Every structure is written in structure tokens, then in C-alpha cells.
A and B are shown apart, each in its own frame.
Chain A
Amino acid sequence: MITKLSHTSFFVSDQDKAYDFYVNKLGFKVNTDAMMENGFRWLTVTPPEQPDLEIVLFPASGQNGFDEEVNKALRFLLEKGVMGAGAFYTSDCRATYEELKAKGVQFKSEPKEQFYGVEAIITDGCGNWFSMTQPKQGF
């Protein structure tokens, strides 16, 4: 029986920029930040209240095991913003929106009432965008 998701990857156009976004702006914790012998940087972060889910911030370039053709395609998809979406939960979408806006985070949409709660769309500046949702009770 599978019980949990422990690791997932976000491809990012720039690991330093991604570090700044997820750690300094969103307040995620760094789990591992280690440099391999071949120059590959294994960088994982965890959401503040979900320490057992490691998000791998994977570079879409350099020594990542893919050839240049694949990396070029990845960067193209990141630039187009079509790499797939995800959803983060927040205890209060409007307050978090104001906080992140003050920190310079870019949004694709402001907080709006949805059937399942209050939701804003956030971008990480590295090619990915997410729903930031305050779920309604029962969701």
C-alpha cells in the first residue's frame, strides 16, 4: 500500500532564483542543498507545515543528466508556462496575497471566491505557476 508522496520535482529555469522565491519569499525550508562532484546541485525544499514532502528544484540546464536538446525543450516549456500546475494551501489567501505582493511576488490572478475556497494564482518567476488556495471547510 502506497501511503505518501515524499519527493516531487519542479523544473526551474534558475536554481538561485528559485531558492530565493521558495525559501526567502514563501518561507519554505531547505532540506538539502548539496553540490555533486560533477557540479550538479541537489536542492530540495519543504513547505513549512509539510516537512516530509521534499520538492526538488531541478535545473533545466547544466549537469542535470539530460542532453541539450531536452534541456532546450524544457526551457521552452518553462518560458511558455505550460509545465504543469500545482496547488498550495494557505490559512488565509487574502492575507498571504498581501504579504507576498509586498515581497515582490508576481500573481496571475488576485484572490477570488471559488466553489472550493478562496484562490489566487501565483508564479515562481522560474516558469511555474500555482494555485494558492484557502480551502473551504470540508474541502
Chain B
Amino acid sequence: MSLTNDIYQRIASAKIFIDQNYHESIDLNEISQKTFLSRYHFHRLFTKIYRRTPHQYVTRKRLEKAKDLLAENKTVTDVCNEVGFESIGSFSVLFKKEIGSAPTHYRNAAWLKKQEQKHHPKKFIPHCFIQMHRIGK
């Protein structure tokens, strides 16, 4: 089934809306109304195009943002609230399941890496670049 440009524009604008408002409570009825599609059709088309349901997409968006915020050494509670999860318990369980380590563990490792990159960036640059571009000399 081929879709019209107008449908693509509406689904794309819904994705942009989610990208900008993922930390709020996202209501499928509200978004589908914005696209002038029924809830059923919006859900079906979004899932077909992005290969994730709207709910899965919002969850992934929140987890990705959580990774960024944890790497800034923010507390798990602050991160949980900032990205829109309602309970720390469910956030922690989901984070570990999807990302592979607990939020605290992820934060400690990511923060350490970030500090190391900041203070000793050359450790992270392949030597061919350092040699060719005389980086840091």
C-alpha cells in the first residue's frame, strides 16, 4: 500500500511532536487527533513507518535521553522525573532490561568516561588522526 505525501507529512509531524514532548504524558488519542487520523490508523501507520509502536517509540526516546542525562552525573531520581517516567522502580527495571545495566551503574561508568574524554581526549583518538593532523601539538 502506498501512502500519500500528505499522510507522510502528518505522521512525520506527529513524530516531531513526540520528539519535543516525550517527557510529558503522551496521549495517543491527542496525537491521532492532531494528524486527523483515527487512533487505529495512526497507530498502524506510525508502527509501519518507524517499526515501533508509538508507545515503544516514546519509551525508547525517554531511555535515550535518560542515558544522556545520567552521563551528566544527574541523580537517578532527577533523570527519572526529567524524562517522564512516573516511578523510579519501573524506570530502573526498564532501563536495566533495555540498556543492559542499572541506571546507577550506567551513570558511574558514563560519567567516568566523559571526564576521561574531557581531560585526556587524545586517549580516545586513533593515532592515525593524531599523526596526520598533528592533533594537540
Question: Which residues of A approach B to under 8 Å, CB–CB?
Answer: 6-7, 9, 32, 34-38, 40, 42, 56, 58, 64-66, 91-92, 94-99, 102-103
Contact = CB atoms under 8 A, between A and B. Distances in A.
B117 A91 contact: no
Contact of B50 (A6, A91, A94): A91
A58 B132 CA distance: 12
Which 4 residue pairs spanning A and B have beta carbons closest together?
Answer: A65-B133, A34-B121, A98-B12, A99-B12
A94 to B, nearest CB: 5
Given A7-B129, A32-B117, A56-B129, A95 B136 contact: no
Interface string B1-42: 001010011011101100000000000000000000000000
Given A36-B136, A98-B13, A103-B16, 9 more contacts: A34-B118, A34-B121, A42-B124, A66-B133, A92-B49, A94-B3, A95-B11, A95-B12, A98-B9
B124 to A, nearest CB: 6
Given A34-B118, A99-B16, A102-B16, A94 B5 contact: yes
Binding site of A, secondary structure by majority: helix, strand, loop or mixed? mixed
Contacts of B118: 34
Which of A94, A95, A97 has the largest number of chain B CB atoms within 10 A? A95
- Give the dominant DSSP class at B's interface: helix
Interface residues of B, number: 26
A98 B35 CA distance: 14
B49 to A, nearest CB: 4
Interface string B47-91: 001110000000000000000000000000000000000000000
A42 B135 contact: yes
18 contacts: A34-B117, A36-B121, A37-B136, A38-B136, A42-B124, A65-B133, A91-B50, A94-B5, A95-B11, A95-B50, A97-B8, A98-B9, A98-B12, A98-B13, A99-B12, A99-B16, A102-B9, A103-B16
A93 to B, nearest CB: 10
Given A32-B124, A92-B49, A94-B3, A40 B8 contact: no
A73 B12 CA distance: 39
